[in-house]
Amino acid sequence: MKHAENDTEESDPVGGADEQWECEVTWQDDGGDRESVCESFQLLQIDTGCDTPKDLPVGSEKWYSKNVLRKQRHWEKIVTAKKKKRKQEKERRKAKHAEDKGVAHQHSKRVLKAIAKERLLAAKEAAPWLCIDLSMTSHMTQKEISRLAAQIRRLYGSNKKAGKPFWICLTGFVAGSPISEECLRMNDGFSNYLMDTTPESYLDLFPLETIVYLTPDSENALQDIDPHRVYVLGGLVDESIQKKLTLQKAQEHSLQTARLPIAEYMVKNTNVKNYHSETLAINQVFDALSTYYETQNWPEALKAGVPPGKGYVLQETAL
């Protein structure tokens, strides 16, 4: 046994490793050649030239199998392709949006806001004036006042976007009144609206001969919009539908009156409720006026201002 141990120590640089192997061997044949058996064990100590796991740095790719690395590279390709596709889709939507907007996409929001402001301020000097008469709000319920405040917001929004805006003036607008409080509560930035507000009456602000009171009960169809005239809309939301209220008020002061030419360009459309009305909200009347002022086309203007629910359609589209 000593001879075998010495022989093993000389041939094995690790030293002592074969002693463990030799100690674990149970000899079945005492007469066997122990030295040759030890030499056979030496041949089994194969040096592969590979580092052991403890010799590899943490995080090294040698820790992963080729299959894992292949899957990882495949997943990275998928992620990259998805990012590229999303970027292309975003650019496509941006290009389409710019095409729909025309040249508007060339300007930032700040520039567009400045352009709209300049256009509105110019309207004060050269465009027709539109006054909202708020002197009748004392006879309205809180619900009706809230609806009127919402209509004023929509009207102002439409005028702000218009290529040829009117100049808006709220007359009979008393600070602290229900309508003023509701406008401030419901409409963000109302105090910064580019329009005039005054507690005075339109009767005291403008010569009577320049005033045209717009009412659906007038016998006179509005033919054109004169930039030197002042057009007045009654700020009235009346769910009880009091007939000819605004007409009577205009007649009391011998004012010229007019109505939208609905009867001249539109016809009644058959509907389930058999409902037909020429009474519009103030923002709907304004949409018709604004469209006509830009296009000089009444059918197009009435299509923009008169909703289908009123029971009227243009003559050429009547069933």
Cα separation, 252 vs 248, in Å, equals 6
Q: Which residues of the chain have pLDDT under 70?
A: 1-64, 98-107, 238-242, 317-319
Backbone angles phi, psi at 140, to 5 degrees: -105, 155
pLDDT at res. 86? 84
For 237-271, the DSSP string reads --TT--TTHHHHHHHHTT-EEEB--HHHHEEE---
pLDDT at res. 158? 95
pLDDT at res. 198? 96
Q: What is the pLDDT of residues 157-185, one digit of tens each?
A: 999 999 999 999 999 999 999 999 999 99
Q: What is the pLDDT of residues 236-274, one digit of tens each?
A: 886 655 678 888 989 999 999 999 999 999 999 888 888
Q: What is the pLDDT of residues 102-112, one digit of tens each?
A: 544 566 778 88
CB atoms within 10 A of CB 256: 14
Q: What domains, with CATH codes, occur in the chain?
A: 127-317 (3.40.1280.30)
Strand pairing report for 211-214 and 196-198: unpaired
Encoded tokens for 50: 């590979």
Sign of the torsion angle spanned by Cα atoms 74, 75, 81, 84: negative
pLDDT at res. 116? 83
CA of 263: how far to CAs of 68, 217, 219, 246, 266, in Å?
Answer: 78, 12, 11, 19, 5
Cα separation, 198 vs 135, in Å, equals 11
